[in-house]
């Protein structure tokens, strides 16, 4: 049967009655060919459909309806046009291009990133798109948890690294896959987190990294619609769709939300000498921000190029992608990598009112999903506290840095830490925002793990094969006296104490807490603070650590339980600790009541918080000697719920089992955190 005119909308490959409609945007091209392949490893297409400029083109959209084909059809494009970099055009009819709106990606055995960079036909070695019928899935009345931010606890997780270690216990076929993650949901439920934030799961170029290592993190997208096929246990290119949605459905049934770390700031095509996957060969000047000479790419990402996010076609693609992941894949929110780039115009200049950010902000499909911005970029644009819109939450890099510096013992940090613990009002005071505006974290995928933060003074990235030049030199870490692993019991005890301090301050601070996969069991990357290329045991979750560091694991579980407010006395409204603490202003102290010490030499902070009958007193000593703190006394009873100086099991207790504190002075050990919960005297020790 002959191909027909088709329609310009919807973009991508859409299964319809009797065949498939294809539509792709390509401004400046003189002709576009649709290539149909029988098998992914074929040296060339089985069928080539040259679209007629008069019949199959509307505006800059090339479209055709092909009868007799359906889901599973492998396809790609070629675009003919001028190869004039100085005019912004990089058309090359020898390059096979995937569909920017393709829902599935297939990779041939002969795929090689380098072969896509130079001249010559790429039909054999290019990735291709696969037609998918996304409506063919039974969600079984899937219901998103819709957890309020005030009750959200985020766990940043790498799909591959979570179960790829031999100790994971999942079947070898499922290791490092969406299905493998499903098998570990009971662990996540037991831990108590409410949301997983998945490192990039958009299809990415795993070969975009140092030779022999590749790209592990996934911040190298080739598609904004297709889930990464490398995380699928199925050999069927379409199997990844169902496996991803099975994972989402299973997490929802467990009450856990799914947030995606999304990369709308650059693509895997890199700089002017990079490979051609798709965008460069279809509409180079529309998809990318170019330098004035139009030959080179503006690089505000550190990855070779920058997506032209506020150009209308690119902007629409971002919105369509977000809607797709919400409507068809049922995800609950997004963390936007280098989100400040979305505020740049086609010349790279920051915009006061970026259209794409307001589109996201005001879109009704996205109105009930979580939007989190990494409010900075690699070129120095830092917008924490000033990111546009009302619905965005932000990774608070100031929280990370200030808490690290204070716990390490740096001078001049007391006042800043007071702000961080109370929701960072100094950062967010210009807007009327709820305290959960601040996503509080100490560690994330980028940088040291929590264990390494207290075990290394400097980065050790030699295995990245970049001569240790990569990764940040600004870590605010402290090795406690020995670089790397130590057999000294006192050093180990100190390191555990600092880890508990970091975790306690993150969970008790007003805002939305986030912590990194494996920090609850002291996962180490051996001092590597930029493990983007380490798809090996440096990055994987070693499940033997759950037992080896069971004391830290137990501490985190109980800390999360405390955060949720399950055992807080007289909590008739079933409020979380975060909700209780933000109801009334914090009363600050030093070692003496009502006498906070904000001087540069201060290494101690204390605070009391009262909400109805509920009271709490927090005491933090980052000094290297023990300090005696005064305790508020009004006839009530205090119970010691946390004291990080004490060994397990005394380091943390739920309120009902916590020991009473009868004295007016509490000695807080060196570099320790103490948290007391109390009730008025008439409830006493029997309060419920």
Which position among 269, 374, 436, 535 bears the catalytic label?
374
- Mean pLDDT, the chain, whole residue set: 93
Q: Output the 3-class SS for 231-278.
A: HCCCCCCCHHHHHHHHHHHHHHHCCCEEEEEECCCCCCCCCCCCCCCC
Q: Assess whether pLDDT exceeds 80 at residue 570.
A: no
CATH number of 12-130: 2.60.40.10
Where in the chain are the domains?
12-130, 577-686
Catalytic status, residue 434: no
pTM: 0.96
List of long-range contacts for 249-255, beta carbons under 8 Å, 24+ apart: 249/139, 249/140, 249/142, 249/330, 250/182, 250/185, 251/182, 251/185, 251/188, 251/196, 252/142, 252/143, 252/144, 252/145, 252/330, 254/185, 254/188, 254/189, 255/145, 255/147, 255/189, 255/194
CB 83 within 8 A of CB 57: no
Q: Assess whether pLDDT exceeds 60 at residue 686.
A: no
Q: How many helices (H) and strands (E) does the chain have?
A: 15, 27
Q: Quick one: what percent of the chain has pLDDT higher than 70?
A: 96
How much is the pLDDT for 683?
39
Q: How confident is the model at residue 581 (pLDDT cuts 50, 70, 90)?
A: low
The CATH architecture annotation of domain 577-686 reads Sandwich (2.60)
How much is the pLDDT for 684?
40
Chain segment 495-524, per-residue pLDDT in tens: 999 999 999 999 999 999 999 999 999 999
Q: How confident is the model at residue 571 (pLDDT cuts 50, 70, 90)?
A: low
Chain segment 637-673, per-residue pLDDT in tens: 899 999 999 999 999 998 888 999 989 999 999 999 9
Which structure tokens are listed for 596? 């906070």
List Cβ neighbours of 208 (8 Å cut-off, separation of 6 or more). Answer: 113, 214, 215, 220, 268, 270
Catalytic status, residue 490: no
Which position among 337, 436, 452, 630 bears the catalytic label?
337
Chain segment 387-416, per-residue pLDDT in tens: 888 889 999 999 999 999 999 999 999 999
How much is the pLDDT for 687?
34
Q: What is the mean predicted confidence (pLDDT) over 446-453?
A: 98
- Ordered alpha helix ranges (H), 538-600: 545-548, 550-563, 577-581
Chain segment 214-258, per-residue pLDDT in tens: 999 999 999 999 999 999 999 899 999 999 999 999 999 999 999
List Cβ neighbours of 236 (8 Å cut-off, separation of 6 or more). Answer: none
Q: What is the mean predicted confidence (pLDDT) over 468-486?
A: 97
CB 66 within 8 A of CB 20: yes
Chain segment 323-347, per-residue pLDDT in tens: 999 999 999 999 999 999 999 999 9
Same fold for the pair 12-130 and 577-686: yes
CB 117 within 8 A of CB 274: yes
């Amino acid at each position: 049967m002959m191909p027909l005119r088709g329609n310009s909308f919807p973009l991508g490959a859409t299964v319809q009655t009797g065949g498939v409609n294809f539509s792709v945007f390509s401004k400046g091209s003189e002709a576009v060919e649709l290539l149909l392949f029988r098998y992914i490893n074929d040296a060339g297409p089985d069928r080539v459909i040259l679209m007629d400029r008069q019949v199959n083109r509307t505006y800059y959209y090339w479209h055709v309806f092909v009868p007799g084909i359906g889901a599973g059809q492998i396809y790609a494009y070629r675009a003919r046009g001028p190869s004039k970099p100085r005019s912004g055009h990089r058309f090359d009819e020898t390059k096979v291009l995937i569909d920017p709106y393709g829902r599935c990606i297939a990779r041939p055995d002969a795929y090689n990133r380098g072969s896509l960079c130079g001249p010559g036909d790429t039909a054999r070695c290019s990735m291709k798109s696969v037609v998918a019928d996304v409506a063919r899935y039974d969600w079984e009345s899937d219901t998103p948890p819709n957890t309020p931010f005030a009750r959200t606890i985020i766990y940043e997780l790498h799909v591959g690294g979570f179960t790829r270690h031999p100790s994971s216990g999942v079947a070898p076929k499922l290791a490092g896959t969406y299905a493998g993650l499903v098998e570990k949901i009971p662990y996540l439920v037991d831990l108590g987190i409410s949301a997983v934030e998945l490192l990039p799961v958009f299809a990415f170029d795993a070969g975009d990294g140092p030779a022999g290592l590749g790209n592990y993190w996934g911040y190298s997208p080739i598609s904004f619609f297709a889930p990464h096929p490398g995380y699928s246990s199925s050999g069927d290119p379409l199997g990844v769709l169902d496996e991803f949605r099975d994972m989402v459905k299973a997490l929802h049934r467990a009450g856990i939300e799914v947030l995606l770390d999304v990369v709308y700031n650059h693509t895997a095509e890199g700089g002017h000498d990079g490979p051609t996957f798709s965008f460069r060969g279809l509409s180079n000047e529309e998809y990318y921000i170019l330098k004035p000479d139009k030959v080179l790419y503006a690089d505000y990402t550190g990855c070779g190029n920058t997506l032209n996010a506020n150009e209308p076609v690119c902007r629409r693609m971002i919105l369509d992608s977000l809607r797709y992941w919400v409507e068809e894949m049922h995800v609950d929110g997004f963390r936007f990598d280098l989100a400040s780039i979305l505020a740049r115009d086609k010349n790279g200049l920051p915009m006061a009112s970026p259209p794409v950010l307001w589109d996201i902000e005001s879109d009704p499909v996205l109105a009930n999903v979580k939007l989190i911005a990494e409010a900075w970029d690699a070129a120095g644009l830092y917008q924490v506290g000033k990111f546009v819109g009302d619905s965005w939450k932000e990774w608070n890099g100031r929280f990370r840095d200030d808490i690290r510096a204070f716990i390490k013992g740096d001078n001049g940090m007391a006042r800043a830490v007071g702000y961080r613990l109370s929701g960072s009002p100094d950062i967010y005071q210009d807007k009327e925002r709820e305290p959960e505006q601040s996503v509080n974290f100490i560690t994330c995928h980028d940088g040291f793990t929590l264990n390494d933060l207290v075990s290394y003074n400097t980065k050790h990235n030699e295995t990245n094969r970049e001569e240790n030049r990569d990764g940040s030199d600004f870590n605010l870490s402290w090795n406690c006296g020995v670089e790397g692993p130590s057999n000294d019991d006192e050093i180990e005890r100190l390191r555990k104490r600092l880890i508990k301090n970091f975790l306690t301050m993150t969970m008790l601070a007003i805002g939305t807490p986030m912590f990194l996969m494996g920090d609850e069991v002291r996962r180490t990357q051996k001092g590597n603070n930029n493990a983007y290329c380490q798809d090996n045991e440096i990055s994987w979750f070693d499940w033997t650590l759950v037992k080896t560091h069971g004391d830290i694991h137990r501490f985190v579980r109980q800390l999360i339980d405390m955060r949720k407010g399950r055992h807080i006395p007289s909590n008739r409204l079933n409020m979380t600790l975060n909700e209780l603490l933000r109801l009334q202003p914090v009363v600050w102290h030093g070692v003496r009541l009502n006498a906070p010490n904000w001087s540069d030499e201060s290494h101690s902070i204390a605070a009391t918080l009262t909400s109805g009958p509920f009271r709490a007193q927090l005491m933090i000593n980052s000094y290297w000697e023990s300090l005696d703190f005064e305790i508020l006394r009004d006839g009530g009873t205090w119970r010691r719920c946390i004291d990080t100086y004490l060994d397990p099991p005394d380091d943390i207790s739920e309120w009902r089992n916590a020991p009473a504190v009868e004295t007016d002075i509490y000695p807080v050990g060196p570099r320790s955190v103490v948290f007391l919960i109390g009730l008025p005297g008439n409830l006493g020790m029997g309060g419920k």
